[in-house]
Structure formats: structure tokens, C-alpha cells
Amino acid sequence: MKLLFDLFLTFAKVGLFTFGGGYAMIALIEDTCVEKKRWITHDEMMNVTVIAESTPGPIAINCATFVGYRQKGMTGAIAATIGMVLPSFCIIFLISLFFDHFLEISWIAHAFQGIKTAVGLLILDAGIRMISKMQKKAVPITIMACAFAAMLLIDVLALPVSSFVLMLIAAAAGLFLFSVKRKESKGGGGK
């Protein structure tokens, strides 16, 4: 019961402070679930993020469900997911009831402007942490650099290409490289 409550509360905290979409949340989840609570490892976190990127639905929900299930099965998954959703649900519900011009309240707009800056930094931080734990080999670094350049190009030129396309290409590249390698080792009299 204590663990369930802990899961709920932890993800409620993450949910309350996740601004600007899923990527910013990665830094928060790394901070709480990987470093402080040690519920999942960095590598598992990478796997969830990849799965979250390639399946429909918000990354935040995917992560909460994954961590909750890992810790306490089905009830854990439900507790974590509800925790993740509840804060924003309450906030939006209150806004929809009481504020018609929520974004025109000047101090709120200013706070959001400040938060936007922080969100960019958090996403950058998530990326840097991932690089620092990546294998420093030619292939992953090349893929990373290409994806970085391509995504930046897509953003700057506002191209109508989803990041999912890049993920697909990378998956294909991974398969291709593996099959080449296998053939080579076979030809070399390996297994």
C-alpha cells in the first residue's frame, strides 16, 4: 500500500511539473525514478522512451504505466498513471470552469514565458545525460549526429516530417548493419 501511494505521489509530482510535452518530462523521470528512487535503470528508461516514441500516445503516460507496472504490477500501473494525469486534469478542469481568458492574465503569461525557457534547458539536459551514457562507438555516434542534424533541419524549416520517420530510418539502419555483420561473420567461418 505504501509503495502504491509512493508511486501515485511521485507521478503526481512529475505530472504537476511537466510542461511543454514529453521530452521535458524525461529529465524529471530520470531525476526521480532513476536517480532518487532507483525504480528503473537508465537503460530501461531509454527503452521506454524509444517505445514511447514509436507508439501512439503521450510519453508521460507510457512512462508512468511502465514504471508502475514494474514496481507493483497492474495496481501499480494504475496508481502511477492516475497520479500522472490527476494534477493536469484538476488544473484544466478548474480553468475550464472559472477562466475564460486564462492566458491573458499577465503574471501567468509571464510565468509561462519563464517556464518555456526552463523546458528547453531540461530537454537539452535529458539529451546530454543520454549522450554521456551512450556507447562511444562510430556507428551510434554517426546515427545520433545524423538524427540531430535532420531533426534540427525539420524544426528550422518547419518541414512536415514527423520524428517518427527518423526513428523508422534508424531502425532500418540498425537492421541493415546487423545483417551485414552477420553475413560477414558467417563468411569468416564464424557461427
Partner 1 sequence: MSYGWLSDEMLTYMIAVSESTPGPIMVNLATYVGSSQAGFSGAAAATFAVVLPSFVIILLVMAILKTALKNPWVQAVLRGMKPCMVGIILATGVYMIAKNSLPMPGGMVFDGKTLLLTVLLATVYFGSRKVVGKRISPIALILISAVTGIVAYGV
The answer to the question of residue 161 lying near partner 1 (CB under 8 A) is no
Range 124-130 contact pairs with CB under 8 angstroms and sequence separation of 24 or more: 125/27, 126/23, 126/24, 126/26, 126/27, 126/30, 129/27, 129/30, 129/42, 130/46
Question: Least Å distance between CB 188 and partner 1?
Answer: 17
For residues 178 and 63, give the distance between their C-alpha atoms in angstroms, rounded to a whole number.
Answer: 28
User: Min. distance of Cβ 137 from partner 1 in angstroms?
Assistant: 10
x/- track of binding to partner 1 for residues 169-188 (CB under 8 A): xxxxxxx-xxx---------
The residue (of 39 and 49) whose beta carbon lies closer to partner 1 is 49
Residues 75-104 touching partner 1, rule: CB under 8 A, are 77, 81, 84-85, 87-89, 91-93, 95-97, 102-103
Please pick, from the candidates 155, 161, 184, 186, the single residue that binds partner 1 as defined by CB under 8 A. 155
Longest dimension (CA), the chain: 73
Site residues (CB under 8 A) for partner 1, limited to 103-122: 103, 106-107, 109-122
- At 183, the amino acid letter reads K
Site string for partner 1, 38-77 (x = CB under 8 A): --------xx-xxxxxxxxxxxxxx--xx--xx---x--x
Report in angstroms how near the CB of residue 2 gets to partner 1 at its nearest.
22
